Amino acid sequence: MTLRSRVITIGGIAVAVTLLAGCSATATAAQSTSASGCVEPLVLYAAEGYDANMGTAFTAKTGIPVQVVDDSTGPLLTKIAAEKNNPQWSMLWADGDTAFASLDQQGQLLDYAPNAQWDTVGKALLPSDNSYAPTGTTVMAALIYNSAATSTVPTSYNDLLGAAYAGKVGMNDPAQSGPTYPFIAGLMNQLGGQTGGVAAGEDYLTKLKANGLQVFPTNGDTLHALETGQIDYGLIQSSAATGETIKVQPTAGYAPKIVYLPKSTLLPSVIGIDKGADATQQAEAKQFVDYALSPEGQQVMQGADTSGDSLFWPVVNGVTALSQLPAFPADYQRIDPVFWGPQQSDVVTWFDTNIK
């Protein structure tokens, strides 16, 4: 019999409990959906605008309680690393497959092939060992600019090194923002591939800093800087950029528009299951993944944050993107998460030491 420490929320109070593998002391017959006749609370670490809605919808459908721990991706990954010897999570759901590939290489993810009808992009994003699953995709980066403040629009990343953009470009901090490391890895991949990409990317970012690059914690902070005139151009996640154009009524001082520079890097929302969870939780987590990829689950995702994370392009057949989204960018790349995932710690440390 296996014992596992877990933190659950009862009446709004976090309580540490020890669970028997395969059964929870709080389970009821009405909640039971597992072969053992018991359920356990799932703990979902998540950085998605629709995560709480999905937890509520899944519980209503299955009776399985879901405690959502919502935070930015960087702090969640730090939390998982700190808990490595005693994981407190059942599932991780965040943007970017590089971190998941790294967790898989550390032996922390359960292999599971979901019951989903993948489209072409979805198939391209699947890992060979089924250690995680994409649930939708955005791209990184969208370049959002204030067309009321400038009529100069870049057509390449090299353009941003010019005098016209000096001090006017902002981006997120990869230590905080989940979308940003895959963006940096995509730049490196585009500039020099897997052999010389890190050095080429560091050289480019160093030049961008010398041209006045400003770094902010996350999408929201970079957008605030754009709104307040601290910058005229922001390199952020496509969903956040599109959401800004939906929310904002253009004025004489602020009229955001978007352009995609070649090449956009695919940024899937990704879900993975803790390999160290007991059998009951693993079975429940598989149900959650299947639900997220079902038409019903996709509808929940699309309805929860319609000016933010719900603005994703689906990766399963039979699901249509929200009408506010533009056509999927024709010029995109998928970086190899197995190669770039293990580089994340070193690249982020270099960035925060030299660029931030």
pLDDT tens digits, residue range 58-74? 999 999 999 999 999 98
pLDDT at 28: 37
Which one-letter DSSP state was computed for residue 320?
A: P
Contact 245, 256 (CB under 8 A): yes
The CATH architecture to which 138-265+331-354 belongs is 3-Layer(aba) Sandwich (3.40)
102 vs 8: which has the higher pLDDT: 102
CA distance 162 to 296: 47
pLDDT at 330: 82
- Is 3-137+268-304 a domain of CATH 3.40.50.2300? no
pLDDT at 15: 43
pLDDT at 3: 42
Place of tokens 């249509």: 320
pLDDT digits (tens, 9 = 90+) for 186-216: 999 999 999 999 999 999 999 999 999 999 9
| Mean pLDDT (whole number) for 83-90 | 95
pLDDT digits (tens, 9 = 90+) for 128-139: 999 999 999 999
Contact 38, 259 (CB under 8 A): no
pLDDT at 23: 53
pLDDT at 10: 36
Closest CA to 302 of 325, 272, 286: 325
| Mean pLDDT (whole number) for 90-117 | 96
CA distance 174 to 353: 12
User: Is the confidence at residue 242, as pLDDT, over 80?
Assistant: yes
pLDDT at 38: 83
Alpha carbon dihedral 315, 318, 322, 328, in 10-degree steps, equals 50
pLDDT digits (tens, 9 = 90+) for 13-49: 444 444 444 454 344 333 434 445 688 999 999 999 9
User: Is the confidence at residue 241, as pLDDT, over 80?
Assistant: yes
| Mean pLDDT (whole number) for 240-250 | 95
| Mean pLDDT (whole number) for 112-125 | 95
Angle, CA of 194, 196 and 199, to the nearest 5°: 120
- CATH 3.40.190.10 domain span(s) along the chain: 3-137+268-304, 138-265+331-354
User: Is the confidence at residue 221, as pLDDT, over 80?
Assistant: yes
pLDDT at 6: 52
Query: What is the pLDDT of the chain when averaged over all its residues?
Result: 91
